[in-house]
Amino acid sequence: MDRLTTGRSKAPPLIASAVRLHGRTLVTNLTFAIKTARLYSFAHSNVAAALNEFKESLSAFTSQAGSALHLLGMDDSLSLNEVRLKPDFSSAQSFQFILDLLKANDVGELSIQPAVGREELEALVTLFNTHRPNPDEPWTSFAAAAAKLQLPNIGLARTGERKASLLDDKNGRIITMGIYFKTISHVDAVLGAVRSRKPLHFRQLKHAIQTMVDITLCGEHVMLSLANVKGYGEPGSNHAVNVAIFSIALGLKLGLPKKHLGDLGMAALLHDIGKANLPEHLRSVGQHDVPSSDADAYASHVHAGMDALLSEHIAESCVRSINVALLHHYRFDRTGFPRLLTAKEQDLFTRIVAVADFYDNATTPQQPVRPAMEAERVMHSLLDGSGTEFDPIVVKAFVNLMGLYPVGSMVRLNTGELAIVLEPPTNPRFLDRPRIKLLSDSMGNPVEEFANLLDLDSGGRFRRSILKLCQMEQVQLDLGEYLTVI
Amino acid sequence: MLGTKVSQSKLNPGSARSARNGSGNATSQARGSQPVPATAAGAAVKELIRALGVAAKNYQLYPTHGRVVAQSLSALLDALNSALQAAGSPIEILVTQQDLIFREEIVYHEEARGTSLANRLHTDTVRKLTFVGGVTSDELTRLLGCFREARVSLEDGDDFSTIFWAKDIQHISIETADDFTTEEALALLPVSIDGGLSLDSERFKLSEAEETSLREALANRQETPQGDSTFELTPEELSRIQELISAEENYFPLYDFIDLLFEHMARSRDSVGFQGVVKVVVAILEKMIGSFDFEHALGLMHRLFEPRKDDPNRNQYTVMATVMQGLSNQETFAALGTFLKETPHLPHDHEVFRFMQTLGINALPNLCGLLTHVQHASAVADVLIALGSGCGDVFSQFLTSQDSQVARSIVQVILKTDRRNAVERVAQTLRHPDENVRLHAARALLEHGDERAAPFFLKILKGESGPLVLIAIQFFAKVASPVAFEELRHFIESKRFAALDNQRQELIFKAFVLANSSSAFRYLAEVVLKWRITLGKNSVRKKAAALRALALYREEPAIAILRRFSNSGISVFAQVARRVLDMIEHESPLAHGSARIMIPPGARPEKTHG
């Protein structure tokens, strides 16, 4: 018995962003209802209010979506009616709570029909609060307990094969890759236009950035893994797109709304536009790799960026790009460049881009000067600059977003297995334990399965740990191989 | 996968094609002016499109919170609800270059590219527009905003679909023709991804020493199942993040942009470059004005002209001022006019009026034109007053405006902005063809109370117009005017005096006393009050008024006369005299509630014997 009640309806007519909005509310309200019921009886006004709130948010969702609620738990993420939900910091705890609850009972899907009554909801909450999962057969015992209850409008299904199909969205991956490389070529074109003093056209860049935001809203992992591609296209273009990816993902993590993510992405994409006219050897390097003899020339790129963006027809959203282009090296403590006559605070976009810019520069090899820095070292450098060069809160959010091993990087486990980092860790207590996919077993035989680095062995120790990050250039991974494996 | 932006291949171009070529009716109808859908659902959707077109146009032409937009928005909502009722949810409309197609019926057809809604959407990569039940008025407003913003934003890198995307509308979605389909995406990949990864063990091999040191490092990490809380966000940090995000909601980047622009220009004193930059700012401002966003336009103007450390040099200021003059153009005033017309109720301190003030004195003639908006005339006049000190020449051109509202308002403006020549300028209006304007000007001069207006009122006093003459009398009763003495005496002696009521007769005497107090007292004491026989009611009233006028002349001779009358046998005069005496003794206000007239020091009466 893998499914207690069926009744999956067709895809919701609501657009994905609306589903996500409802999703955050539903998950938060459900968490609150379950937690409150742990403290008080159902007769208590607090519990009644919490259940009412959940019921109201459920009705709002089902009436607009025209279907039942289908909440799907997949390892470290939740999906609502086929739309993957992305928690921001304010909803992260509720997401984790529901995920843990589902995982403990091996529940893969929770469906609630619009006609669900108060008694059923109380029964469901009681079930979650009182049932003691059997570690050996969590689903069997949970399903048996659920079967004893009258829950005609609530469906529960075991964690099953659906998650694989959702995770392995090959078409989605290819589209994402296509957008990534196309955006790089658009940036190439813009940089070329700056160099030849031709008018700049941002329309295609905007379409690309908005699509990147849409993809990130569905799940940032493919985008983040593409940001490991370095040095493709004209010097600086690949970096610009990577910074945009990191910035969008960080903005989303912080809770910025969709429109702002689009503007942030554009600002990130154009932050180094002023480098277009620098000598080639300075175009693709970060501030910390610039020889002192070139420091002045390098510093001029922020003003050059502003000049380039000051066309006669700039949109309001471009204004943010201009601010970012001018101030992304200004530093959080206002001691960077350019020197301003009146000290100003960097806006949030600039603070985000400054961190993303630093990270991508540091993780990009600067041949022949230095290899790519390991992500862990970069994080330490970011933390060193926290409060001086960077906004501490943005740094901390970024560390939470990325974890210690970048998505898409290959890692060697202490078991001898080889794996690829699939998604960043969702639990900030285990930043060195991202979601991974095994590529080979300890003998070197190819395998393809997901592994959870948080799984414990019988002795209470982690079953697997990451031993080493295999940088792309260290294992001589070419682009084709890399794109295959992510 | 991609949310609202779905590739064209996911649509069914064949269905659109069949709609144009397959269905004989639809196609032949489409070749005419407008298609006539065969089904009720099609007809309802056609009406929805029509309402959408009208509302989009109105939203572009009129202020968003004005009456016209409200009406067309309401009509659009009604049309949408009817369409949803007739066709069910969702309503999916395919977009081609000339047509909008609903369930294979053409519901809109327009071949002229410039005016075609279909062509506009198609050009901006929209291939399908979907309405889902539950659309709110706010969502429709946002949709209309897309049409308006897209029209002005093409050169900024925005089109309908990018603007629509940013609006994040829950019950309306579009599908666009971005070439991010799987096949094309594959073609975009720089390398083949079919090869797979070679897991050659040598590639990933660790040396024995490295493996040992890594394992030691791992063991030293001493991880616990509870993990490390170093990077967990504290409640304070979480609330700080929430603050940052909500601050971002209200953040208006243009203000910072202006600051940075000046910083940027302070670095380079290149006036040509500066001119280009200021043009950029003007373009932004024009866009704000065009969309009636006067709040931000005002903020931006303040930011531009506020004192700063990095003040541009004089040349740059000249450039800035010159370029800014370009803002006082027809488009700006058309937008201001439309806004005022569409929003009848605005407080005097509304941003739109404060914005007007930032336009400078070159805008005065155009601003005067805005006085035609009756509901806002007073607020616009305040703007002119704040802006137009010493600009009497400009304003006086409007004194003879055929629009009495304008002329009336300008009188007020001139009196407050042109102290030196105000009276002479306003006096011109006393000859305005519209009597209301003449009266208004006279009242304004009366209120202004400047003695230089006396000659003009003197002419009026000689004239026939009743209301104007009364204002002239009020003026002379307020402002001491010796030149008016003789004319006032003639008036008192004329039949016109008898036609006045008690209050106005008294006012004449006040004016008379004020014009020349000693001569007036003599005239009152020796002529009016010495009449032995009162010839009828009018004479009694005149004598009583004269007695009351003595209160203005509080010298001993006047008091003696009053005492004499109070002891006389004629009760009506005794009564008046006693009351006046009483009033003088108690320093109370005069009868009829009018204020006591203070005789100017230069007009003190000589001591005379009554």
3-state secondary structure of B60: helix
Write down the pLDDT at residue A75: 66
The sheet that has A69-74: what strands, in order across it?
A: A83-85, A77-80, A69-74, A107-112, A154-158
Give the pLDDT band of residue B154 (cuts 50, 70, 90): low
More confident position, B535 or A90: A90
Q: Residue B545 is encoded by which pair of tokens?
A: 């008024």
Query: Which helix or strand (DSSP H or E) is residue B95 part of?
Result: strand B91-95
3-state secondary structure of B94: strand
Write down the pLDDT at residue B221: 74
CA atoms within 13 A on the CB side of B35: 32
Question: What angle separates helix A16-39 from helix A118-130, to the nearest 10 degrees?
Answer: 70
B2 with A342: Cβ contact below 8 A: no
In order of A35, A261, B287, the CA distances from B153 in angstroms are 49, 19, 9
Nearest CA to B387 among B359, B352, B415, B351? B359
Say how many C-beta atoms besides its own lie within 10 A of residue B157's C-beta: 22
Write down the pLDDT at residue B514: 85
Whether B368 has a pLDDT exceeding 90, the answer reads yes
Task: Report how far residue B6's alpha carbon sits from residue B161's, in angstroms, rounded to the nearest whole number.
Answer: 11
Whether B608 has a pLDDT exceeding 50, the answer reads no
Task: Report how far residue B81's alpha carbon sits from residue B90's, in angstroms, rounded to the nearest whole number.
Answer: 12
A66 CB neighbours in chain B (<8 A) are 89, 133
How do residues A414-463 score in pLDDT, each as one tens digit?
988 889 998 888 888 889 899 898 988 888 788 888 888 888 888 888 88
CB-nearest partner of A13 from B132, B166, B309: B132
Give the pLDDT band of residue B432 (cuts 50, 70, 90): confident
Q: Which residue type occupies A307?
A: D
> Can you say how many angstroms the Cα of residue A14 is from the centroid of all Cα atoms in its chain?
22
CB-nearest partner of A210 from B162, B193, B249: B162
Write down the pLDDT at residue A90: 79
Task: Report how far residue A432's alpha carbon sits from residue A4's, in angstroms, rounded to the nearest whole number.
Answer: 37
How do residues A68-84 score in pLDDT, each as one tens digit?
888 888 767 788 887 87
Quick one: chain B helix, strand, coil %, rounded to 5? Answer: 65, 5, 30
Write down the pLDDT at residue B570: 63
Residue pair A330/A346 in contact by the 8 Å Cβ criterion: yes
B186 with A412: Cβ contact below 8 A: no
3-state secondary structure of B575: helix
Mean pLDDT of B166-190: 77
**ipTM of the complex in this document:** 0.79
Nearest CA to A79 among A139, A145, A165? A165
> CATH classification of A166-402 is 2.60.40.1180, yes or no?
no
Write down the pLDDT at residue B247: 92
Mean pLDDT of B361-388: 92
Annotated domain spans of chain A: 3-159, 166-402, 410-485
Write down the pLDDT at residue B13: 36
Write down the pLDDT at residue A316: 66
Nearest CA to A245 among A168, A318, A331, A181? A181
- Name the burial class of residue A267, with classes exposed (0-12), middle (13-18) and buried (19+) by CB atoms within 10 angstroms of its CB: buried
Say how many C-beta atoms besides its own lie within 10 A of residue A292's C-beta: 7
Q: What is the DSSP letter of B526?
A: I
Task: Report how far residue B553's alpha carbon sits from residue B580's, in angstroms, rounded to the nearest whole number.
Answer: 11
Q: Cα distance from B387 to chain A (closest Cα, Å)?
A: 30
Write down the pLDDT at residue B306: 73
Say how many C-beta atoms besides its own lie within 10 A of residue A97's C-beta: 17
**This model's pTM is above 0.80:** no
Write down the pLDDT at residue A314: 64
How do residues A287-318 score in pLDDT, each as one tens digit?
888 888 999 999 999 989 988 887 656 666 67
DSSP per position, A67-84: S-EEEEEETTEEEETTEE
How do residues B203-240 score in pLDDT, each as one tens digit?
777 778 888 888 888 887 767 777 888 888 898 999 99
A205 with B157: Cβ contact below 8 A: yes
Q: Residue A278 is encoded by which pair of tokens?
A: 């620098």
For every residue of B405-470, which 3-state class applies, written as one string? HHHHHHHHHHHHHCCCCHHHHHHHHHHCCCHHHHHHHHHHHHHHCCHHHHHHHHHHHHCCCHHHHH
Q: Cα distance from B228 to chain A (closest Cα, Å)?
A: 5
Nearest CA to B137 among B58, B195, B203, B73? B73
More confident position, A162 or B569: B569
Min mean pLDDT across A439-443, A449-453, B331-335, B463-467 is at: B463-467
Burial B213-248 (b: 16+ CB within 10 A, else e): ebeeebeeeebeeebeeebebeeeebeebeebbeeb
Show which of residues 446-485 on chain A sit within 8 Å of chain B, judged by CB atoms. 446, 456, 460, 462, 465, 467-468, 470, 475-481, 483-485
Whether B596 has a pLDDT exceeding 70, the answer reads no
CB-nearest partner of A479 from B191, B284, B309: B191
> Can you say how many angstroms the Cα of residue B481 is from the centroid of all Cα atoms in its chain?
43
Q: Which residue type occupies A366?
A: Q
What's phi and psi for A69, nearest 5 deg? -90, 130
Q: Cα distance from A435 to chain B (closest Cα, Å)?
A: 16
Write down the pLDDT at residue B109: 92
Write down the pLDDT at residue B302: 84
Task: Report how far residue B448's alpha carbon sits from residue B417's, in angstroms, rounded to the nearest whole number.
Answer: 12
Nearest CA to B174 among B184, B185, B153, B160? B160
Give the pLDDT band of residue B312 (cuts 50, 70, 90): low
Write down the pLDDT at residue B36: 79
Task: Report how far residue A9's alpha carbon sits from residue B461's, in angstroms, rounded to the nearest whole number.
Answer: 91
Give yes or no for A67 touching B (CB within 8 A).
no
Q: Cα distance from B129 to chain A (closest Cα, Å)?
A: 13
Q: What is the DSSP letter of A9?
A: -
Nearest CA to B318 among B356, B364, B283, B269? B269
Task: Report how far residue A351's alpha carbon sits from residue A328's, in angstroms, rounded to the nearest whole number.
Answer: 7
Q: What is the DSSP letter of A456?
A: B
Whether B527 has a pLDDT exceeding 50, the answer reads yes
Whether B12 has a pLDDT exceeding 80, the answer reads no
Average pLDDT, chain A: 86
Give the pLDDT band of residue B128 (cuts 50, 70, 90): very high
State which residue of chain B sits closest to A254, comparing Cα positions. Answer: B241
Mean pLDDT of A132-152: 86
Mean pLDDT of B70-75: 93
DSSP per position, A177-207: HHHHHHHHHHHHHHHHHHHTTPPP--HHHHH
Whether A381 has a pLDDT exceeding 90, the answer reads yes
Q: Cα distance from A59 to chain B (closest Cα, Å)?
A: 13
Write down the pLDDT at residue B79: 95
Residue pair B286/B332 in contact by the 8 Å Cβ criterion: yes
Q: What is the DSSP letter of A274?
A: G
A21 CB neighbours in chain B (<8 A) are 170
Min mean pLDDT across A39-53, A368-382, B502-516, B585-599 is at: B585-599
Write down the pLDDT at residue B86: 93
**What is the percent of chain A where pLDDT is above 90?**
37
Write down the pLDDT at residue B107: 93
Write down the pLDDT at residue B141: 92
Tell me the β-bridge partners of B99.
B109
The sheet that has B172-176: what strands, in order across it?
A: B105-109, B99-102, B91-95, B126-131, B172-176
**What is the percent of chain B where pLDDT is above 70?**
82
Give the pLDDT band of residue B50 (cuts 50, 70, 90): very high
Nearest CA to A422 among A432, A434, A440, A411? A434
Query: Which helix or strand (DSSP H or E) is residue A299 part of?
Result: helix A295-299
More confident position, A115 or B190: A115
Whether A410 has a pLDDT exceeding 80, the answer reads yes
Whether A150 has a pLDDT exceeding 70, the answer reads yes
Write down the pLDDT at residue B26: 37
Write down the pLDDT at residue B147: 87
Contact partners, residue A90, CB within 8 Å, separation at least 6: A255, B238, B241, B242
B310 with A410: Cβ contact below 8 A: no
How do residues A190-226 score in pLDDT, each as one tens digit?
999 999 988 888 888 888 999 899 888 877 788 899 9
Question: What angle separates helix B556-566 from helix B571-586, to the nearest 10 degrees?
Answer: 140
B238 with A90: Cβ contact below 8 A: yes
In order of A305, B4, B123, B147, B163, the CA distances from A209 in angstroms are 19, 14, 19, 21, 13
Q: Residue A2 is encoded by which pair of tokens?
A: 């893998």
Write down the pLDDT at residue A1: 46
Min mean pLDDT across A115-129, A245-259, A346-360, B273-287 is at: B273-287
Mean pLDDT of B180-198: 71
Task: Report how far residue A55's alpha carbon sits from residue B541's, in angstroms, rounded to the nearest whole number.
Answer: 86
Q: Residue A34 is encoded by which pair of tokens?
A: 């379950």
More confident position, B161 or B465: B161
Task: Report how far residue B316's alpha carbon sits from residue B314's, in angstroms, rounded to the nearest whole number.
Answer: 5
Mean pLDDT of B552-560: 74
How do residues A319-355 score in pLDDT, each as one tens digit?
889 999 999 999 999 999 998 888 889 999 999 999 9
Give the pLDDT band of residue B531 (cuts 50, 70, 90): low
Min mean pLDDT across A264-273, B23-32, B101-110, B194-203 is at: B23-32
A468 with B159: Cβ contact below 8 A: no
Task: Report how far residue A101's alpha carbon sits from residue A35's, in angstroms, rounded to the nearest whole number.
Answer: 11
How do residues B492-507 score in pLDDT, each as one tens digit?
888 888 788 878 888 8
Write down the pLDDT at residue B89: 82
Mean pLDDT of A156-178: 68
Give the pLDDT band of residue B159 (cuts 50, 70, 90): confident
